[in-house]
């Protein structure tokens, strides 16, 4: 269940039943001209939504910042958001 859509009684139920809480995490980075910069996290959210059909879980709103790898291109001018590893520690 998406946390931001939960009503107070649903939160109490999830807490009482010890539902796992998951935080989708990914970076905003360039993947080429054919893909959205949030693709890493969007894929995680979709997988969690599919898993939610199998089990009771709470899905927190995604956290879109992280250390970008620049595997495709450097961050300048392509939409990547870089937060260094030390800041995330």
pLDDT tens per residue, range 2-54: 999 999 999 999 999 999 999 998 888 888 889 998 898 999 999 999 999 99
Given this model, what pLDDT does residue 72 score?
55
Q: 3-state DSSP: the chain helix, strand, coil percent, rounded to 5?
A: 35, 10, 60
Given this model, what pLDDT does residue 26 score?
83
Given this model, what pLDDT does residue 44 score?
94
CA distance 51 to 29: 25
Note every long-range contact of 81-85, with CB atoms under 8 Å and residues 24 or more positions apart, other chains counting: 81/27, 81/28, 81/29
Cβ–Cβ contacts within 10 Å for residue 26, how many? 18
Q: Is the pTM of this model over 0.75?
A: no
Has residue 67 got a pLDDT over 80? Answer: no
| Domain segments of the chain as ranges | 3-88
């Amino acid at each position: 269940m998406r946390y931001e859509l939960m009503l107070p009684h649903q939160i109490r139920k999830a807490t009482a039943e010890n539902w796992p809480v998951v935080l989708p995490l990914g970076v905003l980075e360039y993947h080429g001209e054919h893909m959205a910069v949030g693709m890493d996290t969007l894929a995680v959210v979709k997988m969690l939504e599919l898993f939610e059909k199998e089990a009771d879980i709470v899905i927190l709103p995604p956290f879109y910042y992280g250390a970008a790898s620049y595997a495709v291109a450097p961050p300048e001018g392509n939409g990547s958001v870089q937060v260094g590893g030390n800041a995330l520690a």
